[in-house]
């Protein structure tokens, strides 16, 4: 299944914390994520809203699932909720698109939801719709596309 999300809201998160496990060495941990929410071009089980959480990943290999995946749909109702991991460099590009107002569409390809979940095999972030050529007022075209592949 392929769906396009027209972005209506963004949530950005960056955190850092120091930790010292008992008897261990102190460490600093940090993390960031981006959540994109919007209306889906075609409903999935009558659901019209999708939220996609984007996380940076260090290993750049797809999940061991069949088909190979870069994320999952973890909830179907009341909002189609997805989590995807992208390489750190691409996460930085998507983050930059978001904060500069260029992230207007997310195109997601996933397996048919079974029970309340599905596998995501491809995700693309863009300022331009892949469906009808609708473009945001912020040129030039900007797109980051990621697909899971077995190697």
User: pTM higher than 0.85 for the full model?
Assistant: no
Q: Is residue 133 part of a domain?
A: yes
For residue range 21-53, what is the model confidence (pLDDT) as tens digits?
898 999 998 899 999 999 999 999 999 999 999
Residues 6+ apart with CB under 8 A from 29: 16, 17, 18, 19
The number of beta carbons lying within 10 Å of the beta carbon of residue 47 is 16
Q: Which residue has the higher pLDDT, 90 or 131?
A: 90
Count of domains for the chain: 1
Q: Is residue 139 part of a domain?
A: yes
Q: Is residue 22 part of a domain?
A: no
Establish how many alpha carbons lie within 13 A of residue 108's alpha carbon, considering only the half-sphere containing its beta carbon.
36
Taking alpha carbons only, the member of 132, 89, 88 closest to residue 107 is 132
Q: Is residue 21 part of a domain?
A: no
Residues 6+ apart with CB under 8 A from 132: none
Q: Is residue 6 part of a domain?
A: yes
């Amino acid at each position: 299944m392929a769906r396009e999300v027209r972005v209506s809201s963004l949530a950005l998160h960056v955190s850092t914390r120091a930790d010292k496990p008992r008897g261990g060495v102190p460490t600093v941990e940090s993390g960031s994520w981006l959540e994109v929410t919007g209306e889906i071009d075609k409903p999935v089980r009558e659901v019209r809203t999708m939220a996609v959480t984007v996380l940076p990943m260090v290993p750049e290999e797809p999940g061991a699932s069949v088909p190979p995946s870069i994320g999952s749909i973890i909830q179907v109702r009341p909002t189609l909720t997805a989590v995807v991991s992208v390489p750190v460099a691409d996460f930085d590009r998507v983050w930059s698109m978001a904060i500069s107002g260029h992230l207007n569409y997310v195109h997601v390809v996933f397996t048919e939801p079974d029970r309340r979940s599905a596998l995501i095999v491809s995700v693309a972030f863009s300022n331009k719709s892949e469906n009808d050529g609708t473009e945001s007022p912020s040129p030039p075209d900007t797109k980051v596309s990621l697909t899971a592949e077995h190697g």
